[in-house]
Amino acid sequence: MYELQNLNKVRVAFGTGVLLELWRGKLVEPPTTAHFLTYFDGRCRGNCRFCPQARESTADLEMLSRVIWPKFDLEAVLAALKEKSDKFKRICIQAVNFPGVVGVVCELVSRVREVCDLPVSVSCQPLMHEDLRRLASVGVERIGLAFDAATEEIFSRVKGSEYSWEGHMAALKDAKAVFGDKVSTHLIAGLGETEEEMVRSFQFFHDNRVTVALFAFTPIPGTPLSKQPRPEIASYRRLQLARFLIANNLSKAEDMSFEGGRISNFGLDEESLEKVIDSGDPFVTSGCNGCNRPFYNESPRGPIFNYPRKPGRRDIEEIKKLLRSPD
Ligand code: SF4
């Protein structure tokens, strides 16, 4: 068991560390959620082909997506959080999968809640019912169970042997039983799914009252998918719009049309659709409320996939061009 040795250190997302003044750095956009990752001096038991933490990855262990998460003394992090928690709207603890991780996460959550009263999300692998209960009992508000893949076929191709579609579905049921509607999942666009498959996945999770956090595939050196391209930005915009319409009951997958797997109609009249697009809301980072994950999938130089704040007028005009484009 690794519990003891892992309790005096925690990994901190770069932007979170800057706001907590653990280190210096320039922030183009401040994170609204303080992101932490369990520290473990080894690789994850999981082997997701896009993840730098994966069992067979040779990527830098400081990385999660394209962000660095340096390890830091837990006591110093907690002292900083006590002082500066007002800079955040939420705490998110990402869990690497290792023996004893549930105990480590429970301890981390308890310690965090001693110093601030921000709502806490935990994003982790499938857990047993009683472990979910333990997390709820120490004050976790929301649980995230990342499916990442929009279909079972893609899941089995990219999520490695540690996980199964059935196992995730069963764990999702357990998560719902303990956390009710406060369950999120992560879906990654660009793993080989069609837009139609992703939209049907949005609808499935919406019908099951699970919040979808949409990510754009990000190639990371040292992972098996490091040579795979990012999703087309125009396609990603269509997916963001579809996710938003479904999540806000403005349309449904069955009301949308698809040509060759691509969205060709959003199932909403032009005028209402225009209003939604003009609001900019569909293109902002999705997921737990208060989570903006700045530049988690792209460099600030762009193109921006998930806007960490509402896009401005010029960006919206750019988005409209993309949505009208034949690409
Ligand atoms: S949506 Fe954000 S806050 Fe919620 S589990 Fe995912 S990364 Fe964490």
Structure tokens at 56: 């067979």
| Residue range 64-84, pLDDT digits in tens | 999 999 999 999 999 999 999
Quick one: pLDDT at residue 6? 54
Classified as helix, coil or strand, 259 is: strand
Helices 233-247 and 195-207, packing angle to 10 deg: 20
Which residues form ligand 1's pocket by a CB distance below 6 Å? 33, 90, 92, 121, 123, 144, 184, 186, 213, 287-288, 291, 293
> Which atom of ligand 1 is least distant from the CA of 94?
8
Residues 203, 252 contacting (CB under 8 angstroms): yes
**How far, in Å, from the CA of 121 to the mean position of ligand 1?**
6
Quick one: pLDDT at residue 160? 87
**How far, in Å, from the CA of 45 to the mean position of ligand 1?**
21
Mean pLDDT for 49-70 is: 97
Q: How far is CA 197 from the centre of its chain?
A: 19
Q: How far is CA 253 from the centre of its chain?
A: 22
Mean pLDDT for 309-325 is: 96
Tell me which of 64, 93, 121, 148 to substitute to probe ligand 1's pocket, judged by most ligand atoms within 8 Å of the beta carbon.
121
First to last CA, the chain: 51
With residue 289 as reference, give the H or E element that holds it: none
Quick one: pLDDT at residue 79? 98
Mean pLDDT for 57-70 is: 97
> Which atom of ligand 1 is least distant from the CA of 143?
5
Quick one: pLDDT at residue 286? 98
Share of the chain above pLDDT 70, in %: 98
Q: What is the pTM of this model?
A: 0.96
Q: How far apart are CA 91 and CA 110, in angstroms?
A: 12
The dotted CATH code for 5-324 is 3.20.20.70
Phi-psi region of 261 (alpha: psi -120 to 50; beta: other; left: phi over 0): left
Share of the chain above pLDDT 90, in %: 96
Quick one: pLDDT at residue 322? 96
> How do the domains of the chain map onto residue ranges?
5-324
Q: How far apart are CA 205 and CA 186, in angstroms?
A: 11
**How far, in Å, from the CA of 63 to the mean position of ligand 1?**
17
Given a cut of 90, is residue 326 above it in pLDDT? no
State how far the alpha carbon of 180 is from the alpha carbons of 149, 207, 305, in Å: 22, 13, 30
Given a cut of 80, is residue 3 above it in pLDDT? no
Given a cut of 80, is residue 5 above it in pLDDT? no
Given a cut of 60, is residue 186 above it in pLDDT? yes
DSSP type of residue 147: -
> Count of alpha carbons within 13 Å of 275, Cβ hemisphere only?
6
Tell me which of 11, 32, 33 to substitute to probe ligand 1's pocket, judged by most ligand atoms within 8 Å of the beta carbon.
33
| Residue range 137-174, pLDDT digits in tens | 999 999 999 999 999 999 999 998 899 999 999 999 99
Quick one: pLDDT at residue 7? 77
pLDDT category of residue 4 using cuts at 50, 70 and 90: low
| Residue range 198-207, pLDDT digits in tens | 999 999 999 9
Residues 84, 23 contacting (CB under 8 angstroms): no
Quick one: pLDDT at residue 128? 95
Tell me which of 291, 295, 296, 306 to substitute to probe ligand 1's pocket, judged by most ligand atoms within 8 Å of the beta carbon.
291
Given a cut of 60, is residue 102 above it in pLDDT? yes
Mean pLDDT score of the chain: 96
